[in-house]
Amino acid sequence: MKNFINYIVYDKKENLHDETKMVRGALGHDPLSGSISFPIFQTATYRHISIKENTSFNYSRIINPTRLELERTMALLDHGYQAFALSSGMSAVTLALSMLKPNEHLLLSDDVYGGTLRACDEVLKNNGINYTQVDFTNLDEVKSSIKDNTKMFFIETPTNPMMKVADIQKISEIAHAKGICVVVDNTFLTPYYQKPLLLGADLVVYSASKYLGGHNDIIAGILVVKTKEQAEFFALQNAVYGASLAPHDSWLALRGLKTLAIRMQAHSSNASQVAEFLKQHPKVKKVYYVGDKSHPNYELSQKQTTGFGGMISFELDSMATVDKFLERIKLILFAESLGGVESLVTHPLSRTHSEIPKETCEKLGITPTLLRLSVGIEHVDDIINDLKQALE
Ligand SMILES: Cc1ncc(COP(=O)(O)O)c(C=O)c1O
């Protein structure tokens, strides 16, 4: 049994920095073989020793050593009680939403990710769960939108694509005074730059297909919980839904995590220079970047995050410029998604937000000439030169 117990017991690494936790993980290496690269336990099931003795592993939908290493590493980084690694960011979002019961209500960020809105519109509503979209940067609007049956706030900060920043601490205070659970989608900043649980939130979700994985090669999600009770609830829900991340993808996510800190630094540094370039360009009407001193929530970002990340939205002067830009870019790729090492640009109105009513998009500022750029970690001069030639 000694060898098996080694997979279960791990050091919480409380005195170590995030960078070290990312590189070394929870166990960090295989306790049996000493393999530095944590093994991919590509197995569906596990042999029991006897009725009385088992290895703590039973079936890979429920528990798998490679996935467990990823889950523990994420729980360490987010200061959570436990994490669940899931087959997509949407699995993490819907698992969090599964807390809600019929006749309950939730508040959602007004420019929340389209897939989350679709889950609320197409699935939750059919189950008698209603929502109101609010601007979480306006605390009066948040307070006045709370109903007697409101049980959850679902926040994205910064939002996609308008880069609005919500005050997690203040919002959590408002929520907790009324017994409301706060869920933060932390996909854009990752635990390296923002730790929602330490700011008062109750749950954190991620699309690990983005910065956590970091290489545009996996679809994965993470849900981090704060308490034992939440962990027990979601373990049961997840056993039922069966959306656990596969061993190989868990390994890829673990491998991505090892370089998360230096990647985030590179994304941020490149993004601040790209934002500066865009701001000066005559064909760029407006730049939305949380690291810009003129951003309305700049001070809040400085207070609650340790970095600004790599996401920029910007508005061009005409549709003709947008069309030409998307045809002419060479290094930057016109593609959905974000957070990978490659720079990607998308046109929110026709791509990520195509299912959102036009009037809502207009109200939010998602105009036909708005583009969203996920700044990669290529050399910043090459990114800027590509933008320059595409905007000529
Ligand atoms: C902020 C945010 N949350 C959740 C998701 C869903 O993640 P996935 O595509 O991994 O299911 C996305 C995907 O774009 C996203 O941008």
Domain harbouring 251, CATH code: 3.40.640.10
Q: Which residues line ligand 1 (CB under 6 A)?
A: 88-90, 93, 113, 115, 156, 160, 185, 187, 207, 209, 219, 221
Last-in-domain residue among 211, 243, 258: 258
Which residues have a catalytic role annotated? 61, 113, 185, 210
Nearest atom of ligand 1 to the alpha carbon of 91: 11
Count the neighbouring beta carbons within 10 Å of the beta carbon of residue 28.
Answer: 17
Distance 337 CA to ligand 1 centre (A): 8
| 29 Cβ contact partners less than 8 Å away, ≥ 6 residues apart | 35, 36, 38
Residue 269's SS3 state is helix
Q: How far is CA 142 from CA 51, 54, 146, in A?
A: 53, 49, 7
* 203-220 b/e (C-beta count within 10 Å ≥ 16 → b): bbbbbbbbbbbbebebbb
Q: Which strand ranges, in their side-by-side order, compose the sheet holding 284-288?
A: 284-288, 311-316, 370-374, 344-346, 333-334
Count the neighbouring beta carbons within 10 Å of the beta carbon of residue 139.
Answer: 16
Distance 89 CA to ligand 1 centre (A): 5
pLDDT of residue 4: 57
φ, ψ (nearest 5 deg) of residue 155: -115, 140
pLDDT of residue 140: 98
Claim to verify: residue 329 and residue 239 sit in the same structural domain: no
Last-in-domain residue among 197, 223, 258: 258
Question: What gap in Å lies between CA 157 and CA 165, rounded to an integer?
Answer: 5
**Quick check: 366 and 356 in contact, CB under 8 A?**
yes
Claim to verify: residue 43 and residue 11 sit in the same structural domain: yes
Q: Where are the alpha helices (DSSP H) in 129-283?
A: 139-145, 168-177, 190-193, 228-241, 247-258, 260-280
Claim to verify: residue 102 and residue 219 sit in the same structural domain: yes
pLDDT of residue 5: 59
Claim to verify: residue 163 and residue 31 sit in the same structural domain: yes
Claim to verify: residue 77 and residue 136 sit in the same structural domain: yes
Identity (one letter) of the amino acid at 349? L
Claim to verify: residue 189 and residue 272 sit in the same structural domain: no
The answer to whether the predicted template modeling score (pTM) of the entire model surpasses 0.95 is yes
Which residue range forms the structural domain that includes residue 121?
A: 2-258
Q: What is the pLDDT along the chain (392 residues), one digit of tens a residue?
A: 455 557 888 888 889 999 999 999 999 899 889 999 999 999 999 999 899 888 889 999 999 999 999 999 999 999 999 999 999 999 999 999 999 999 999 999 998 998 999 999 999 999 999 999 999 999 999 999 999 999 999 999 999 999 999 999 999 999 999 999 999 999 999 999 999 999 999 999 999 999 999 999 999 999 999 999 999 999 999 999 999 999 999 999 999 999 999 999 999 999 999 999 999 999 999 999 999 999 999 999 999 999 999 999 999 999 999 999 999 999 999 999 999 999 999 999 998 888 788 888 988 999 999 999 999 999 999 999 999 999 99
Identity (one letter) of the amino acid at 322? V
Claim to verify: residue 220 and residue 92 sit in the same structural domain: yes
Claim to verify: residue 214 and residue 274 sit in the same structural domain: no
**Quick check: 247 and 292 in contact, CB under 8 A?**
no
202 exposed, middle or buried (CB, 10 Å; 0-12, 13-18, 19+)? buried
Q: Where are the alpha helices (DSSP H) in the chain?
A: 2-8, 18-24, 65-78, 89-97, 114-118, 139-145, 168-177, 190-193, 228-241, 247-258, 260-280, 298-304, 319-328, 358-364, 380-391
Q: Give CB contacts under 8 A, 24+ apart, made by 358-363.
A: 360/110
Claim to verify: residue 267 and residue 250 sit in the same structural domain: no
Question: What gap in Å lies between CA 39 and CA 373, rounded to an integer?
Answer: 35
End-to-end CA distance of the chain: 67
Which residue's entry shows tokens 């910007």? 314
Q: Which of 207, 223, 338 to mutate to test the pocket of ligand 1 (most atoms within 8 A of CB)?
A: 207
CATH (domain of 301): 3.90.1150.10
**Quick check: 350 and 241 in contact, CB under 8 A?**
no
Residue nearest to atom 9 of ligand 1 (CA): 89
Q: Which of 90, 118, 218, 356 to mutate to test the pocket of ligand 1 (most atoms within 8 A of CB)?
A: 90
Residue 358's SS3 state is helix
Instruction: Estimate to the nearest angstrom the gap between the alpha carbon of 330 and the chain centroid.
Output: 27
Nearest atom of ligand 1 to the alpha carbon of 156: 1
Claim to verify: residue 283 and residue 311 sit in the same structural domain: yes
Task: Look up residue 126 and give its two tokens.
Answer: 């059919």
Claim to verify: residue 133 and residue 19 sit in the same structural domain: yes
Last-in-domain residue among 230, 258, 286: 258
Q: Which of 87, 108, 210 to mutate to test the pocket of ligand 1 (most atoms within 8 A of CB)?
A: 210
Nearest atom of ligand 1 to the alpha carbon of 220: 10
Which residue's entry shows tokens 């640009």? 345
Distance 99 CA to ligand 1 centre (A): 19
Question: What gap in Å lies between CA 271 and CA 310, rounded to an integer?
Answer: 5
Claim to verify: residue 249 and residue 271 sit in the same structural domain: no
User: How many structural domains compose the chain?
Assistant: 2
| 215 Cβ contact partners less than 8 Å away, ≥ 6 residues apart | 252, 256, 340, 341
Question: What gap in Å lies between CA 328 and CA 372, rounded to an integer?
Answer: 16
Residue 173's SS3 state is helix
Q: At what angle do helices 380-391 and 260-280 cross, to 10 degrees?
A: 30
pLDDT of residue 267: 98
